[in-house]
């Protein structure tokens, strides 16, 4: 059957293939939940980029009369619509500002672990020598550390700054990329088109960067998106336990922790930042699910037929 499709495709004149960006947007539109997720994440990124610049002052201004102010009083300034915290600071503004640290830490950790992990994975997968044997062991050692415990010790010892938190989270996530990359390389290395390149005389870097990497990149991007959510949750847990970011810096996880003593009297202190975490991780999960299909040529038809079977 597949052969009919391809001949049909080949026979049809393609009047200039649509650009990659347009194809991308078309595929995204086919999946409604993923579209919403992308829009929401765009919003979060905007908050993270510009929030501190615009709202830093407002968000840290204490206001005794607004202590634990009730949400949904729309008569007030818009920053107070979600209520005020224990010091009367506007919650909405604080959430927007906190997006910056939250996203910065997760981005840093994901980028670092992706870069280091996949590079090691490429080497481990492609080299048939001792190195190929040794590197996976490194992943085993890291995996055998209870990651949260590692984080606690390191952060207790060093100071819990943004840089150190990124470092700890990145180390614990390296094995994910290392293992995936290595497994994929081991498989792709044996594929015919790689053999064809060897027959042509292609050098090792050429084979890795021209032939292997482009094929595994979609998988890596998909995993990184999912992992971004994981890292965010881990960072929130650290902050919640009091060994993450320290005040006056703020992240969503820390806000949940700070609201905990007031749970019974002012639930919104913990509720809103928690909701922000859920919605962001949910969006990342949805987007990653969409990518898994959109970036796989054999699955893409699910989106092209109208997105009836996405997910």
Partner 1 sequence: MQRFLAKRAVSSGVSLILLVIAVFFLSRLTGDPTDLYLPIDASQEARENFRALHGLDQPLIVQFFSYLGDLVRLDFGESIRRARPALEVVTEAFAWTLQLAVITMAIVSGAAITLGSLAAFNLGGIFDRIATFFSLIGASAPDFWVAIVAIVVFSVGFGWLPTSGTGTVWHWILPIAVLFIRPFGLILQVVRGSMITALGSAYVKTARAKGVGPRATIFVHALRNAMLPVLTVIGDQAAALLNGAVVVETIFGFPGIGKLMIDSILQRDFSVVLASIMVTAFAIFLMNILIDLAYAALDPRIRY
Partner 2 sequence: MADPLLEVRNLSVTFDTARGPVHAVKHVSWAVNRGDVLAILGESGSGKSVSSSAVLDLIDMPPGRIDSGEILFEGRNILEMSAAERRGLNGKRIAMIFQDPLSHLNPVYRVGWQIEETMAIHGTARAEAKAETLRLLAKVGIPDPQAAAEKYPHQFSGGQRQRLMIAMALALKPDVLIADEPTTALDVTVQAQILGLLEELQKETGMALVIITHDLGVVAEIAHRVVVMSKGEIVEAGTAAEVYRNPQHPYTKRLIGAAPGKGEIHPDELDTPPILALQNVSKQYGAFTALHGISYELREGETLAIVGESGSGKSTTARLLLRLEEASGGRALYQGRDLFAMSPKELHGLRRDIQMVFQDPTQSLNPRMTVFQLVSEGWAIHPGIVEKSRWKARVAELLREVGLSEEHMHRHPHQFSGGQRQRIAIARALALEPRIIVCDEAVSALDVQVQAQVIELLDRLKAAHGLSYIFIAHDLPVVRDFADRVIVMQGGRIVEQGGVRQIFDAPREEYTRNLLAASLDPDPEIQARRRAERLERQKLAGEAA
x/- mask, partner 1, residues 133-152, rule CB under 8 A, reads ----x--xx--xxx-xx--x
Residue 115 CB, shortest distance to partner 2, in Å, is 21
Stretch that binds partner 2, among 6-14, 139-147, 170-178, 225-233 (CB under 8 A): 6-14
Q: Residue 301 interacts with partner 2 (CB under 8 A)? A: yes
Q: Residue 214 interacts with partner 2 (CB under 8 A)? A: yes
Measured from the CB atom, the residue of 129 and 297 that comes closer to partner 2 is: 297
Q: Residue 285 interacts with partner 1 (CB under 8 A)? A: yes
Measured from the CB atom, the residue of 55 and 273 that comes closer to partner 1 is: 273
Q: What are phi and psi of 147, to 5 degrees?
A: -65, -40
Residue 13 CB, shortest distance to partner 1, in Å, is 33
How many residues sit in the footprint of partner 1 (CB under 8 A)? 40
HEC letters along the chain: CHHHHHHHHHHCCCCCCCCHHHHHHHHHHCCHHHHHHHHHHHHHHHHHHHHHHHHHHHHHCCCHHHCCCCCCCCCCCHHHCCCECCCCCEHHHHHHHHHHHHHHHHHHHHHHHHHHHHHHHHHHHHCCCHHHHHHHHHHHHHHHCCHHHHHHHHHHHCCCCHHHHHHHHHHHHHHHHHHHHHHHHHHHCCCHHHHHHHHHCCCHHHHHHHHHHHHHHHHHHHHHHHHHHHHHHHHHHHHHHCCCCCCCCCCHHHHHHHHHHHCCCCCHHHHHHHHHHHHHHHHHHHHHHHHHHHCCCCCCHHHHCCCCCCC
Q: Residue 61 interacts with partner 2 (CB under 8 A)? A: no
Asked if 97 and 48 count as a contact pair (C-beta separation under 8 A), the reply is no
Binding to partner 1 in span 243-262, by CB under 8 A: 253, 256-257, 260
Measured from the CB atom, the residue of 154 and 197 that comes closer to partner 1 is: 154
Stretch that binds partner 2, among 7-15, 132-140, 164-172, 227-235 (CB under 8 A): 7-15
Residue 77 CB, shortest distance to partner 2, in Å, is 50
* Tokens matching residue 2: 């597949």
Q: Residue 193 interacts with partner 2 (CB under 8 A)? A: yes
The span from the CA of 44 to the CA of 47, in Å, is 5
Binding to partner 2 in span 21-50, by CB under 8 A: none
Q: For binding to partner 2 (CB under 8 A), which residues are involved?
A: 1, 3-10, 14, 17, 191-193, 195-203, 206, 210-211, 214-215, 297, 300-301, 304-305
Q: For binding to partner 1 (CB under 8 A), which residues are involved?
A: 137, 140-141, 144-146, 148-149, 152-154, 156-157, 229, 233, 236-237, 240-241, 253, 256-257, 260, 263-264, 267, 270-271, 274, 277-278, 281-282, 284-286, 289, 308-309, 311
């Amino acid at each position: 059957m597949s052969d009919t499709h391809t001949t049909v495709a080949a026979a049809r004149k393609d009047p200039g293939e649509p650009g990659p960006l347009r194809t991308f947007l078309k595929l995204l539109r086919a999946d409604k939940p993923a579209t919403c997720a992308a829009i929401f994440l765009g919003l979060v990124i905007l908050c993270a980029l510009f929030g501190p610049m615009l709202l830093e002052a407002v968000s840290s201004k204490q206001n005794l009369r607004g202590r634990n102010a009730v949400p949904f009083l729309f008569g007030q300034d818009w920053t107070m619509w979600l209520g005020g915290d224990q010091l009367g600071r506007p919650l909405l503004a604080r959430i927007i500002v906190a997006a910056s640290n939250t996203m910065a830490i997760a981005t840093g950790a994901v980028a670092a672990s992706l870069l280091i992990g996949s590079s090691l994975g490429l080497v481990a997968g492609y080299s048939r020598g001792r190195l190929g044997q040794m590197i996976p062991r490194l992943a085993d050692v890291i995996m055998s550390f209870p990651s949260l415990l590692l984080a606690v010790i390191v952060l207790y010892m060093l100071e819990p700054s943004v840089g150190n938190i990124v470092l700890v989270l990145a180390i614990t996530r390296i094995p994910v990329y290392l293992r995936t990359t290595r497994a994929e390389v081991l498989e792709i290395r044996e594929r015919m088109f790689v053999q064809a390149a060897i027959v042509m005389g292609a050098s090792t870097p050429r084979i890795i960067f021209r032939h292997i990497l482009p094929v595994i990149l979609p998988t890596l991007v998909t995993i990184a998106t999912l992992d971004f959510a994981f890292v965010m949750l881990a960072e929130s847990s650290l902050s919640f336990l009091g060994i993450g970011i320290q005040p006056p810096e703020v992240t969503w996880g820390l806000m949940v922790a700070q609201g905990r003593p007031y749970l019974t009297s002012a639930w919104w202190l913990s509720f809103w930042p928690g909701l922000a975490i859920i919605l962001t991780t949910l969006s990342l999960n949805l987007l990653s699910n969409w990518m898994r299909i959109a970036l796989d040529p054999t699955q893409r038809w699910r989106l092209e037929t109208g997105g009836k079977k996405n997910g």
